Chain A
Amino acid sequence: MKTKTLEASAHKQVRVFGGLPMLITAVVIVALLVILPLTGVLSSNTQRYLLKIFLYCCLGSMWNLMSGYTGMTSLGQQSFIGIAGYSLAVMTFTYGASYWAGFAVGGVLGAALALGLSVLLFRMRGMYFAIATWVVAEALKTFFTSWTFVKQGAGMTIKAKPYPSTTEIYMIALVLCVVSLVVIYLLLRSKIGLGLTAMRDDADAASSVGVNIFQSKLLCFVICGFFTALAGGVFYLNKGSIYPSGGFGINWTVSIVFIVIIGGIGTMGGPILGAIIYTVLEEMLASYPGYSNIILGLIAILVILFLPDGILGTLQKKFHFEILSQKRFSKE
């Protein structure tokens, strides 16, 4: 009896912004984001900002899926990004193929890398997993620095004729961002997603009630590898050239971790908010070169100390609401 009333009151307190109103809002926002650049209202500079936000949002959401929902904190997302950037460069420059072929190869290699690494990485938990993912990225970096096929440390350029315009890359990034958010949302609301959250909170308990840990983790890791690689490919299409030190650099993970921590780890909306804040901060800090990581690092530490749930997570707790919740509430 008592627990039931408690549950009921908890349901009343949390207002969930979901269902039809959420769907309509999301569709309107996406429609606006598609139409505005075509009408020429958005300058190409604004499109560049938004493009970055979309890609960071995809990268952050994928890391959040791993760390926030599955409890696998990776510090090696740059492995997927670097592989995808190099796939794009090799396909377009060495083989003269289109950049779509580059994306496809990058995405497949990203998923394959995740699949292959899972054999090694899934034997580890917590900090071991975190460091091992980083070691993989560093190993790839040293390998690419010595590999003559990819011109060693000299880097490669990405070739495309005609080179896609900012608006075209913007559209690709937007589609990628929307698709990855939808995939994560559907995944988390499915039976697998509930199992994942249970697994993050207590792996042993989840496994004893029949959650197939290995399969669920593998699915998440492969999805994460695939989409992270695609986002990396689009990033490098926008950038035009790639070097081992940048492609496999830890800075990718620094940005991703910052985005998720600031926004709110373990919430759907957190990485979206984080990506917006991060991109704005990055542009603002660009005029103070050298200080940007110091300021970002300080903000991240302060947020961990004082707002451990991130900005969105703290707001959600304080005002009892949830956006894009993966939880399935009964209609009482």
Chain B
Amino acid sequence: MQILINGILLGAIYALLGVGMSMMFGIVKLTNLAHGEFIIMGAFGSTILSSALGINPILTLVVTVPVMFLLGMVLQSVLINRVMLRGAEPALLVTFGLSIILKDAMLLLFTADAQKIGVSYATASLNLGGISISVLNLVVFAISLITILVLTLFLRKTYMGRAIRATSDDTVAASLMGVSVKKTYGVAMGIAMATAAIAGLCVGMRWTFYPSSGGEYLLIAFGVVVIGGMGSIPGTLVAGLVFGLAQVIGGANYGMFISYIVLLVMLAVRPQGLFSK
């Protein structure tokens, strides 16, 4: 039971790591290898703001989310839309280039030291009938679920959300109906980066991180996307749980190894994911 709870708490943050990547995959048809670095950028943003202003780390999202959203829109319209005309592989390699640039830029700016976002309730825990639940993990769990819920509502209920989904289903038809595909891609990238900002906050609160941690989180995000099926938000949630449980069951030494094996097997057996359309 304890393992199940831990796995679920871990799974929600994994789902959050993957949700932005899943959007890029499903809507823009882009494999964004810089997503891990975006998450770490968000983590650094929140660390700096919360320590400089002395505010609750969660409040830093007011700044980091819009900034990352804008960055994403600019990046997509200035750079990525242009290379995507050349095909999927050049675009993949450009995001690869971006990821190594960002990683080293962060290394220069923030040094290689371990970082963590401190909160007052870091060590507090609740005791429910013999099961102990860390308050911090619970808060992170709540943030993750709320973000995913808001994103789902946005895609279902708003005009922009419907335009995004329409573009994802049929690019040509959507553009004939007056949806600007390039603009939609920009917004999708903006949203993906905004979720990366929130994921970064959660990562920073739960674990120590380094400028070079991006690759690790990218692979988790990718695993969640693959297991869940691209562009499927409920799939992302379930996949996060599968991944989280695999790791908790695997234990401290081989947990990540087991998760990677689960991912590889899933990739080989069912590359379209559990919840593909």
Chain A residues proximal to chain B, CB less than 8 Å: 67, 73, 75, 119-121, 123-124, 126-128, 130-132, 134-136, 138-139, 142-143, 146, 250, 254, 257, 261, 290-294, 296-298, 300-301, 304-305, 308
Contact = CB atoms under 8 A, between A and B. Distances in A.
A132 B267 contact: yes
Interface size range on B against A = 35 or more
15 contacts: A67-B89, A123-B267, A123-B268, A128-B267, A131-B219, A138-B215, A138-B260, A139-B257, A146-B254, A146-B257, A291-B108, A293-B103, A294-B104, A304-B94, A305-B79
Given A67-B89, A139-B264, 12 more contacts: A73-B89, A128-B226, A128-B267, A139-B261, A261-B93, A291-B108, A294-B101, A297-B100, A300-B97, A304-B93, A304-B94, A305-B83
B101 A293 contact: yes
Contacts of A305: 79, 82-83, 94
Given A138-B219, A304-B97, A127 B31 contact: yes
Interface in B247-263: 253-254, 256-257, 260-261, 263
A131 B230 CA distance: 14
A305 B264 CA distance: 32
Contacts of A136: 260, 264
A79 to B, nearest CB: 12
Given A124-B271, A294-B105, A304 B90 contact: yes
Nearest to A308: B86
A135 B264 contact: yes
Q: Is the interface of B mostly helix, strand, loop or mixed?
A: helix
B269 to A, nearest CB: 8
B126 interface: no
B21 to A, nearest CB: 11
Contacts, number: 109
Contact of A128 (B97, B223, B271): B271
B179 interface: no
Nearest to A297: B101
Nearest to B101: A297
Contact of A250 (B215, B226, B253, B261): B215
Given A124-B267, A142-B257, A290-B108, A301 B98 contact: yes
Nearest first, the 7 A-B pairs at minimum CB distance are: A139-B260, A297-B101, A293-B104, A127-B31, A297-B97, A301-B97, A300-B97
Nearest to B252: A146
Nearest to B256: A142
A292 B88 CA distance: 26
Given A254-B100, A293-B104, A135 B93 contact: no
B142 to A, nearest CB: 29
Given A146-B253, A301-B98, A304-B97, A131 B260 contact: no
B96 interface: yes
Given A139-B260, A294-B101, A296-B100, A301 B94 contact: yes
A298 B101 contact: yes
